[in-house]
Amino acid sequence: MLIQKIAITLAFSAALASSLVNSKTLVWEDNFDGDSIDTSVWTYDVGNSGWGNNELQNYTDNSDNAYIENGNLVIQALRGADGKFTSARLKSIGRMSYKYGTIEARIKLPDLESGLWPAFWQLGNDFGQAGWPACGELDILEAGMAEALNAGKVNSAVSGAFHWRHESDDYTGKADYGQSKNLIEDFQSSSNLTEDYHIFGMTWTPEKISMWVDDEANEIISINTDNPAFSEFQQKHFLILNLAVGGNFPQIYDNNEITAPMPAKMYVDYVRIYDNDDSSYSTELTLAADTAKRGNLGIIGEGSEITESLRLGTDTELYVWNNMEGLNNSDSLEFKVAEGDWFGMGVWMHYDLNLMNYQNGHLNFRMKSTGNQGFEIGLASTNGGEAWVALNPDGESFGLKWDGQWHLVSIPLSQFGVDFHTINQALMIRGDASTEVFVLSIDDVYFSESLDKRSPNGTFSLYSETIEANSSFELGTDGNLYIWEETLLEVSSSPYEGSESLSYTSAGAGWFGMSFTADNYYDLSAFDNGTATLNFALKSSSTTSFQIGMKSGSIGNVGQKWIDFTSGADPYGFVRDGQWHQISIPLSDFSDEVDMSNVIQLFELLGVNGEISHIEIDNIYFSGGDSNDNDTGDQDLIAQATVTASNEIQPISNAIDSDSSTRWESAHGGDSAWILLDLGEAESLKTLSIDWEHANASAYRVQGSNDAVTWATLVDFTGGNAGERTDEHTLGGSYRYVRLYFTERSTVYGYSIWELNLRGKKGKTQTSPPLQNCKAPNWQLMGTTTRAGKVLMASTMSA
């Protein structure tokens, strides 16, 4: 293919800009009128990687760097005591995107001299698949460029730019175009960009793009739809607002050479998108709810549980990365793994998959392995990176057994620290070199939707034996205590209360950390009231600094708040005298960063400045939570239910008659059977107990539904042994139908149940809003201890 010439036309007349659009209709806006940044639209980039431009700042999600003030979004760059900079970069990836129309933002810029680089720009939605520049980039506003700085006009000049990738056999590099514009001459005024607000806009049609400032044309580019070089500009884009410090644009690469006044504030009054009222095309707007999947979403296989399946070749591609030889098996994916080399594969998405309704749900699949090799299961997202969960024969396996037989595996998605709005790898498997050849098979891979979050109120006990609480965090049931990468060692304790405490010394890694991490998200909104507190007893005589934190959401370093404890300046009355001190931290000290409706790590300890000789923590609880006036207590839901079974030798009515001498007995000889409870209307489910006779299930699922078609998995049980036992389960969610789906017998007979007991609250509770997850770490169980009859799991975490 010959290289196609690209026609680029410049003009600076207001008439040329306005001729593109005669009228327009508002289709979307963010006026930043609320109390906080709208997380249904905006998320953050975080980190100090330089962002491909040698930028100096560390981007954060801290409220010091991005906040709402007087109807403005304020992005603030700060210089720290160490001379380094922090700032913020907000983006709408996976949450809002559009194609065509007119976009404008009313912005007031800070003093740019010297070293600041504010920008209002957008990238194509296929950024996670095509990369840059093939995704396309449109820079509506950039300021602070070196040319203007050298000319003494940095506060009165802006530029725009276009970036794309040529579609040519002969040239595959990027092409870009930009032009500075001196606003002093246009305005005929001595004012500059820092003294008032200005409207920065772009009109985007299928044929051309015009960028402008205060209605005066800056740049126009032809993007004829027949020219494949411009395909990047015929797709939807997401928005970005940021304030960078230093880097390639101002050509300043040393912190000491930044002379712009600090703090520096970029004010954004509004961002608006208009339809251009042109009969030949219209603005296409997509919000997160428009692309969010629902139901049991299948990735691989055609299991009966799956209600919608992604299509190989259209939605996904299967890639074997290394050392996984595909075997000819039409019923499942089957791979031969050779010894002596790592192995891995992934299911790659053709687009970012929106699983915002699943972050509190499960990744489910059937798997069998003929070897004894542990490995990891992973997910990846365009916005939140990748995360891995380990499955090990000697540790946490989530239902897998290494016996060559099929087993149901169900991993809480809260274990994966990714952005569920932008999943680009729907399944990944990787493992270290094996010492043996083995076959790994996988089938019926699907995501099940989020369960309702637990929402405690009043007093909520996290780790206490004596506090009188409305509810408690059950270790081993609601979540676990994780030691991060074996950085803390248990030592002898002298508890503040009860018989045990958390008593540690650091292990020599140069840092240390631990957390109480929930299996599924907690809604602590009842404690977001200005008076509630996080309380704990603390003891140490070490001078090593540490932090106490909480974490919300699924994206690493977003929704994280740390409070510093530094020797000589310890807060909340703590004294490093080796004695117990009761600490109470107002939860308002966390809630400026932590979304209290979506908490995953309820209590964290972190030290990054060396070793700590001893620290002891006890009696952790939340207090001051608002009461739930609608909480009428748990009730028996069995009495109102219509109960049926797939088959029976002895009737299913025997299992709900409150008579422990009668039982339901299924037909013999088959693994598949079920019991269905119709509650008549949706009820808030709390607990389920199953009193088994000797012939019980070694594997089963408890599921909920409101239409008896789409089922959410509430419990995945595996590993049961034959013999009388009682299974107790904590449930969640509001459902009309509850199904016990039995998949594996423990005996040669059928299934036999003495009594079922289902409890909950009458009436449907509010369903958890779909949001995003935290950097839920990759966890490997190391051992267990006990406290007040609860299982306490110690673990390693890859931070």
Tell me if 551 sits within 8 A of 799, measured CB to CB: no
The secondary structure of the chain in percent helix, strand, coil, rounded to multiples of 5, reads 5, 45, 45
Domain-embedded: residue 767:
no
Would 326 be classed as within a structural domain? yes
Q: Give the model's pLDDT for residue 331.
A: 78
pTM of the predicted model, to two decimals?
0.75
Q: Where are the beta strands (DSSP E) in 168-263?
A: 174-182, 198-204, 208-213, 216-222, 237-245
Q: How far apart are CA 87 and CA 561, in angstroms?
A: 16
Is the pLDDT at 200 greater than 80, yes or no? yes
Q: Is residue 26 a part of any domain in this protein?
A: yes
Q: Is the pLDDT of residue 500 over 90?
A: yes
Q: Is the pLDDT of residue 788 over 70?
A: no
Biggest CA pair distance of the chain: 95
Residues 297, 426 within the same domain: yes
Domain identity same for 617 and 493: yes
Q: Does residue 511 carry a pLDDT above 50?
A: yes
How many whole angstroms separate alpha carbon 741 and alpha carbon 257?
A: 66
Give 503's strand partners: 616
Tell whether 490 and 524 lie within a shared domain: yes
Q: How far apart are CA 753 and CA 380, in angstroms?
A: 42
Percent of the residues in the chain that have a pLDDT greater than 70, as a whole number = 88
Q: Tell whether the model's pLDDT for residue 782 goes beyond 50.
A: no
Report CA 278 to chain centroid distance, whole Å. 38
The answer to whether residue 231 is domain-embedded is no
> Cβ(303)–Cβ(444) under 8 Å?
yes
CA–centroid distance for 563 within its chain: 22
Catalytic machinery residues: 137, 142
Q: Which residues contact 713 (CB under 8 A, 6 or more apart)?
A: 296, 305, 361, 362, 364, 410, 448, 701, 702, 703
Mean pLDDT of 477-485: 90
Reduced to 3 states, what is the DSSP secondary structure of residue 364? strand
Q: Which of 456, 518, 522 is nearest to 482 (CA)?
A: 518
Same domain, 396 and 513: no
The neighbouring-strand residues paired with 796 are: 780
pLDDT band at 247 (very low <50, low <70, confident <90, very high): very high
CATH number of the domain bearing residue 333: 2.60.120.430
Residue 3 lies in a domain: no
> Would residue 786 count as lying in a domain?
yes
* Number of domains composing the chain: 4
Tokens of 309: 């399946």
CA distance 330 to 163: 45
Residue 778 domain boundaries: 460-626+773-797
How far is residue 678 from each of residues 641, 704, 735, 754, measured CA to CA in Å? 5, 10, 9, 19
Q: Is the pLDDT of residue 791 over 70?
A: no
Confidence grade of residue 336 (pLDDT, cut at 50, 70, 90): very high
What average pLDDT does range 406-412 have in this prediction? 93
For residue 666 the two structure tokens come to 């299924």
> What are residue 305's phi and psi, to 5 degrees?
-75, -25
Of 448, 482, 500, the last residue of a domain is 448
For Cα atoms 678, 681, 686, give the angle at the middle one, nearest 5 degrees.
80
Does residue 784 carry a pLDDT above 50?
no
Nearest 5°: phi and psi at 156? -130, 25
Alpha carbons 700 and 720: distance in angstroms, whole number = 9
CA dist 470 and 491 (Å) reads 31
Do residues 687 and 747 share a domain? yes
658 vs 697 pLDDT, higher one = 697
What was the pLDDT predicted at 772? 26
Tens of pLDDT, residue by residue over 26-85, are: 999 999 999 999 999 999 999 999 999 999 999 999 999 999 999 999 999 999 999 999
How many other C-beta atoms lie within 10 A of the C-beta of residue 611? 16
Rounded CA gap, 704 and 305, in Å? 12
Q: Work out whether strand 343-353 and strand 423-431 pair parallel, antiparallel, or are unpaired.
A: antiparallel
CB 342 within 8 A of CB 122: no
Residues 733 and 784 in one domain: no
Closest CA to 212 of 9, 7, 18: 18
Please check the confidence at residue 248 and state whether its pLDDT lies above 50: yes
Give kind and range of the element (H or E) at residue 591: helix 588-591
Window from 186-200, 520-534, 574-588, 600-614 with minimum mean pLDDT = 186-200
